[in-house]
């Protein structure tokens, strides 16, 4: 894989070079010292992956991500110092299509391998996406028992997801009657910050989902660890390491399929912008169970990967622009009938 580095710090570039050298599958294609140069290099020599810093002269990483994804899209991972302090910019970059974010590895030889681990894992995941290798999907169990009248909106999102979630959730009214659970592809280090960021933009309360709690009406819960979030037979939630070989953690498919297996009321599935195929088969399982399923359309998706995959296999009953999804959810939840027994 050819990798582009965007960073104005010589020390950070040296640390990234050392980290990349640990895996022969990666080759540095070019190094840009600011966002403007990165846009130019991405256009003339589009790499398989870009490692994007946030704070740079001339053009910052958020704007560079936006321009690259608009003109010559390719996978982008934000790599910067102190992600916690720069959480807002991280979510802005992800809103424009960056796939993930990770701290810059250290340069010191003693712990270089240790600190390079998270970065290399994310780079290998991108490599699997580029190669088109899909992870196996779990078998969806048959639902038994009489469903209750409770309502659940299950949302999945990846690249471009934070901004899409802010738009969708921000348009839901304070008296929205359904429970909402969202699985966003984001490292657990950023999940609390993302929940807090979304909470400040929404009428509904937004927080990280806790082990053992059930979805609550009028509350948005966000998957909060690098393990998969799933519903159990009690309709309470738990985090699980299995399946261990899934490309994305947390997996949207795992959660959607657990909704089909265990939720005893009406459910709606929503698949937003993102790279890859995660969520497509889970959304199809929800549709097969009689749920309303919605995929974001191409025009409003920062990265038209996951919704495209869902549309291709007939997983979505409706394909809507982002701005139309919240009104459709309000309409659907106000008119939901009890699920058939």
185 carries an active-site annotation? yes
Total residues found in the chain within this entry:
341
Specify which residues 318 forms β-bridges with.
Answer: 294
Cβ proximity of 63 and 38 under 8 Å: no
Check if 228 is active-site.
no
DSSP 60-79: -HHHHHHHHHHHS---EEEE
Which of 53, 60, 100, 278 is an active site residue?
Answer: 278
- Nearest-angstrom CA–CA distance, 32 and 46: 13
- Cα(207)–Cα(16) distance, rounded to whole angstroms? 33
Q: Which of 158, 251, 281, 301 is catalytic?
A: 158
Active site residue 158: yes
Q: Are 147 and 339 in contact (CB under 8 A)?
A: yes
Measured distance CA(68)–CA(70) in Å, rounded: 5
Nearest to 39 by CA among 15, 56, 19, 26: 56
Give the torsion sign (CA, 219, 224, 229, 234).
Answer: negative
Report the alpha-carbon angle 181-183-189, nearest 5.
115
Is the sign of the CA dihedral 303, 306, 311, 313 positive or negative?
positive
Of 185, 228, 262, 289, the active-site residue reads: 185
Residues belonging to the active site: 158, 185, 278
């Amino acid at each position: 894989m050819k990798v582009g580095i965007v960073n104005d710090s010589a020390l950070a570039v040296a640390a990234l070079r050392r980290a990349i050298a640990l895996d022969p599958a990666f080759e540095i294609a070019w190094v840009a010292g600011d966002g403007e140069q990165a846009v130019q290099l991405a256009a003339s020599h589009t790499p398989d992956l870009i490692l994007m810093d946030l704070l740079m002269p001339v053009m910052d990483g958020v704007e560079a991500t936006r321009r690259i994804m608009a003109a010559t899209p390719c996978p982008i991972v934000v790599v910067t110092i102190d992600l916690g302090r720069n959480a807002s910019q991280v979510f802005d970059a992800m809103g424009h299509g960056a796939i993930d974010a990770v701290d810059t590895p250290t340069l010191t030889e003693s712990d270089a391998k240790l600190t390079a681990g998270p970065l290399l894992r994310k780079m290998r995941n991108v490599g699997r996406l580029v190669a088109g290798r899909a992870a196996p999907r779990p078998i969806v169990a048959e639902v038994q028992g009489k469903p209750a009248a409770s309502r659940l909106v299950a949302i999945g999102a990846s690249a471009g997801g934070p901004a899409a979630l802010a738009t969708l959730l921000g348009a839901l009214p304070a008296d929205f009657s359904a429970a909402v659970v969202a699985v966003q592809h984001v490292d657990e280090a950023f999940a609390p910050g993302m929940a807090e960021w979304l909470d400040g933009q929404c009428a509904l309360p937004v927080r990280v989902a806790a082990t053992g709690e059930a979805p609550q009406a009028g509350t948005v819960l966000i998957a909060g660890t690098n393990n998969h979030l799933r519903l159990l037979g009690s309709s309470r939630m738990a985090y699980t390491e299995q399946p261990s070989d899934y490309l994305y953690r947390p997996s949207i498919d795992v959660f959607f399929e657990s909704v089909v297996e265990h939720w005893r009321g009406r459910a709606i599935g929503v698949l937003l912008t993102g790279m890859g195929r995660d969520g497509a088969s889970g959304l199809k399982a929800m549709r097969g169970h009689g749920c309303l399923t919605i995929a974001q359309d191409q025009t409003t998706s920062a990265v038209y990967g996951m919704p495209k995959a869902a549309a291709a296999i007939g997983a979505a009953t409706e394909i809507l622009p982002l701005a139309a999804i919240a009104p459709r959810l309000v309409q659907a939840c106000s008119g939901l009938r009890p699920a058939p027994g």
